[in-house]
């Protein structure tokens, strides 16, 4: 497998994905706004400074890569998180195309998953107001940018409603558009198992131009 680029490796999910990737002896180019925030070192890791809002520079960094994983998040405390999520992902998608990369795996959100046959998590009213703009932003990336996209082989990987630090158990369920609940009626997944499933999808592609999800 040729080089793999991971965007946003200094964040909660991105750092877990980077850790999982390095345990698999993959060649990784980590793209972050501030390389000093990447504390991991490895012979298989190159860290590059890049801003997702700079589409042309990002395309240069992605050139020659086979697969891009994006864990981009403008920050949950960012007052412009909704707009920056849309702008950032528009730039990422365009940069992927300019670079000639055909496969894009995105850390998605749970907000657009169905909790009832005709009701998404966002529509259920169960999302705290403090994070709702960010959740809506990712949902709109999925609906407005990805679903109409036919030129790249994208995947939008939605976690369970609760994505938390935990253990890499390797024991979970995968689904498509419906939120996965356990026997207690809870929807949760550890970030370690989420990262494992993301890298499994990278190494053994099972989804193409679609969303899938995970939960216990």
> Does residue 94 register a pLDDT over 90?
yes
With bands split at pLDDT 50, 70 and 90, how would you rate the model's confidence at 138? very high
Q: How many CB atoms neighbour CB 113 within 10 A?
A: 25
Nearest-Å Rg of the Cα atoms of the chain is 16
pLDDT for res 60 = 97
Helix, strand, coil percent values for the chain (each to nearest 5): 35, 25, 45
The pTM score is 0.96
Q: What is the mean pLDDT of residues 133-137?
A: 97
> Does residue 5 register a pLDDT over 70?
yes
Q: How many CB atoms neighbour CB 198 within 10 A?
A: 24
> Does residue 208 register a pLDDT over 90?
yes
User: Any bridge partners for residue 153, and if so which?
Assistant: 103
Domains detected in the chain: 4-215 (3.40.50.720)
To the nearest whole percent, how much of the chain has pLDDT over 90?
97
With bands split at pLDDT 50, 70 and 90, how would you rate the model's confidence at 126? confident
Express each pLDDT in 158-196 by its tens digit: 999 999 999 999 999 999 999 999 999 999 999 999 999
> Do residues 172 and 196 make contact, with C-beta atoms less than 8 angstroms apart?
no
With bands split at pLDDT 50, 70 and 90, how would you rate the model's confidence at 1? low
pLDDT for res 2 = 67
- Tell me what the pLDDT averaged over the chain comes to: 96
Q: How many CB atoms neighbour CB 65 within 10 A?
A: 20
What CA–CA distance (Å, rounded) separates 51 from 108?
19
How many residues make up the chain in this entry?
A: 216
> Does residue 215 register a pLDDT over 70?
yes
Express each pLDDT in 20-74 by its tens digit: 999 998 999 999 999 999 999 999 999 999 999 999 999 999 999 999 999 999 9
């Amino acid at each position: 497998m040729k080089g793999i680029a991971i965007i946003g490796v200094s964040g909660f999910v991105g750092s877990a994905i980077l850790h999982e990737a390095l345990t698999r002896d993959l060649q990784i180019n980590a793209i972050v706004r501030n390389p000093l925030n990447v504390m991991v070192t490895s012979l298989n890791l190159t860290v590059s400074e890049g801003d997702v809002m700079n589409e042309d520079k990002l395309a240069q960094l992605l050139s020659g890569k086979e697969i891009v994983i994006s864990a981009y998040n403008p920050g949950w405390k960012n007052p412009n998180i909704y707009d920056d999520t849309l702008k950032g992902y528009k730039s990422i998608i365009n940069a992927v195309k300019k670079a000639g990369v055909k496969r894009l795996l995105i850390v998605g959100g749970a907000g657009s998953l169905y909790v009832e046959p005709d009701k998404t998590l966002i529509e259920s009213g169960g999302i705290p107001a403090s994070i709702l703009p960010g959740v809506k932003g990712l949902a709109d990336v999925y609906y407005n940018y990805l679903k109409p996209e036919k030129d790249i082989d994208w995947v939008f990987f939605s976690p369970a409603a609760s994505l938390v630090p935990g253990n890499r158990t390797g024991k979970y369920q995968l689904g498509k558009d419906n939120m996965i609940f356990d026997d207690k009626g809870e929807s949760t997944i550890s970030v370690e198992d989420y990262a494992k499933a993301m890298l499994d999808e990278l190494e053994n592609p099972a989804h193409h131009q679609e969303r899938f999800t995970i939960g216990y």
